[in-house]
Structure 1
Amino acid sequence: MIDVALSLNELRALCLEVLLGNGFEAQQAEPIADVIVRAEADACRSHGLYRLPGYVASVSSGRANGRAVPKITQPTSAIIRVDADKGFGPAASESARPALIAAARRHGIAAMAMGNGHHFHALWADIEPLTQAGLACWAFVIGQLSVAPHGGTRKLMGTNPVSFGWPRRDAPAFIFDFATSMAARGEVELKRLAGEALPAGWGIDPAGLPTTDPAMALAGAMLPFGGHKGSALSMMVELIAGPLIGEMTSHSVANKVAIADSGPPPGGQLVIALDPAAFAPQAVGEAEAETFFANARAQPGLRLASDRRHAAREEAHRHGVNISRDLMDRVRRLLP
């Protein structure tokens, strides 16, 4: 099947037309369109246009609020809370970012907690603007209930991604963003839609037996990466992006919230930002970090986190992106 070629501007316009025509206000629609375009540009397909129907479905069902207005409070001068008003992560993060940056510069460290919202986008989209402001940062978010703990056979956790960013003056920031499961749930969904098998070790079926069938893994459970180590990291994310900030764990969400659409479940997000200049003389810290990166680059064949994304981004800004005809047809059916 021939793909459809779009410029990034055409892709953004398509996203906005779909969102604005399906009950979204611009304050929600524009940040969502931006993160979808950024994901497609960076070849992060599992968080790109594939997600758009889920955003629309969650608003059409009445479960999420496409007209949400995030509300920001600061219980302390270093903690920013965002009530997403049942809206989506992109708008909530964008609205709180200036306060988070200011607090991190003032105190050396600050945190942003998002609640009462839905997170459906890649975490690096939240991290990258903070590194551009000169901050080091972590982000954590609870995903849809889909992962069994190491040694278990039933879903207990979300895919629960973790992201880290380190600012660099004369090079793209060092950023990683990965699920604590063997793969993001969206990657498993994409393989199901494409009729492809999963790699061994990604999931188990409802009986707890290993499977390479994406549908069986989604019905059964996905598995954490790294055995007990990835499992423990996933549990950490459940705690610090859930109970710590007054939100539910993914297991509680699945038991208490009826989700009949294909959109994101409710879930909390925690972002921690640090100003390196507050911890050590800036020139000293930068020099040591760049020596570290130079030593890494000196090893033939080594690829730093984000290298692949940045290469894809450059290509997309020059030539646009290719979207599968099947996905384009599904998106165009959502046009008003």
Structure 2
Amino acid sequence: MATVSLSLDEIYKLANKTLLANGCDQETADILSELITNAERDGSLSHGLFRLPAYVSGLKSGKINGKQKPDIKKLTPSVIKADGKNCLAPVVLNKSIPELVKAAKENGVAVLAIINSHHMAAMWPETEKIAEEGLVAFACTSYKPAVAPAGAIKPLFGTNPISFAWPRKNNTPVVYDMATASMAMGEVQVAKREGHKVPLGTGLTKDGKDTTDPAKIADGGVLLPFGGYKGSGIAMMVELLAGALVGDNFSYETAAKDNNDGGPPSGGEFILAISPDKLSDKDWDKHANEFFEKMKSMGEVRLPGERRHKNRLDKGPRNINEELVNKIRSLS
């Protein structure tokens, strides 16, 4: 695979220029460019520049409004609802998370319900941001059907990621972000692009056969939930939390109204923030750190998020797929 070396600043400028050329205002372009750059910086390649052409597809078709800002309402002291009005989810998160953090610190717990926004980024940025404020965070969102429920061979669930973050005083948060599918579709698409096989159990062909060929999964096939019935149950939970509970669509309803331009569809997101200072006692951080140390003493155990935090210490250039860079440059 041919690559090109780009500095983090060059990645940001490439993303920013492309977004501005395709209908975003400066604020939206800045928010999304920072998100994309941070994904490349932290090694989250399937959510960095790789996603930019799809964002552009949604902007060019008019499905995504690159200049819109969300309508944020406080329904109760601890319930916040944000209507994205078809803007990009990172913009909604930028505007609404400060309100969620404030409500959780005041009340001990708070919920943010997001509707009508276009989410295709990683989810760790929002939960990590909340944890950096000293709060425990959980978030989930659905997508268009790509995952078969356990026992089925046709998709019903989205890849339905969940993210959890635990705050640590004077240290980086513990953060995980995972698809409830056996593998995120973005990772399958990267494997397809780079010619890699995927593990058996990742997905099925369009005929319902097991395969290690990512192309046969991405092009008409179906992903499987991780852990069989267990992952299927968690994927169902995400559908309910990010769909019925917040007042948005289930994945199959999202697909029915999407224009299939390749860009992220409109959907909902559920985010929960909890204050350990309110709920626990003053030693919660010390107690949790003892647990983390116990984990790490048991072998080559890495806390979730450690690799991303280590990667971001490297401020040097990143090697980006040359074909992808050329495609993005053609869009601007």
Bucket of the pairwise TM-score, normalised by the shorter protein = over 0.9
The percentage of aligned residue pairs carrying the same residue is 38
Offset, 1:256: 2.8
State the distance in 1 between where 2:189 and 2:137 align.
Answer: 29
Does the 8 A contact of 2:118 with 2:264 survive in 1?
yes
Offset, 1:51: 0.3
Q: Deviations over 1:79-116 (max 9, x none)?
A: 11111110111000010011101100111000111111
Q: Matches of residues 114-193 of structure 1 in structure 2 within 5 Å?
A: 114-193=114-193
Q: Deviations over 1:214-268 (max 9, x none)?
A: 2221212100001100000000000000011110011111123221x22111111
Does the 8 A contact of 1:204 with 1:220 survive in 2?
yes
Offset, 1:276: 0.4
Q: Which amino acid aligns with 1:325?
A: E
Aligned to 1:34: 34
Q: Which has the higher strand share?
A: 2
Aligned to 2:82: 82
TM-score scaled by structure 1? 0.96
Equivalent residue in structure 1 for 2:321, among 310, 317, 324: 324
Offset, 1:27: 2.5
Does the 8 A contact of 1:19 with 1:29 survive in 2?
yes
Q: Deviations over 1:1-53 (max 9, x none)?
A: 54211221221111111101111112221111111111111111110100011
State the distance in 1 between where 2:238 and 2:37 align.
Answer: 27
Does the 8 A contact of 1:138 with 1:163 survive in 2?
yes
State the distance in 1 between where 2:104 and 2:312 align.
Answer: 29
Q: Secondary structure at the match of 2:75?
A: strand
Q: Secondary structure at the match of 2:181?
A: coil
State the distance in 2 between where 1:7 and 1:300 align.
Answer: 35
Q: Matches of residues 208-287 of structure 1 in structure 2 within 5 Å?
A: 208-218=208-218, 219-259=220-260, 261-282=261-282, 284-287=283-286
Q: Deviations over 1:61-96 (max 9, x none)?
A: 111111111110111111111111101110000100
* 5+ long unaligned stretches in structure 2: none
TM-score scaled by structure 2? 0.97
Q: Bigger CA drift: 54-63 or 196-205?
A: 196-205
Does the 8 A contact of 1:27 with 1:69 survive in 2?
no
Does the 8 A contact of 1:240 with 1:270 survive in 2?
yes
Offset, 1:170: 2.3
Offset, 1:144: 2.6
Offset, 1:195: 2.5
Does the 8 A contact of 1:71 with 1:82 survive in 2?
yes
Q: Which amino acid aligns with 2:321?
A: S
State the distance in 1 between where 2:75 and 2:35 align.
Answer: 29
Offset, 1:159: 0.3
Aligned to 1:305: 304
Q: Which amino acid aligns with 1:172?
A: T
Offset, 1:314: 1.3
Number of residues paired by the alignment? 331
State the distance in 2 between where 1:111 and 1:142 align.
Answer: 17
State the distance in 1 between where 2:299 and 2:141 align.
Answer: 34
State the distance in 1 between where 2:178 and 2:317 align.
Answer: 25
Does the 8 A contact of 1:159 with 1:180 survive in 2?
yes
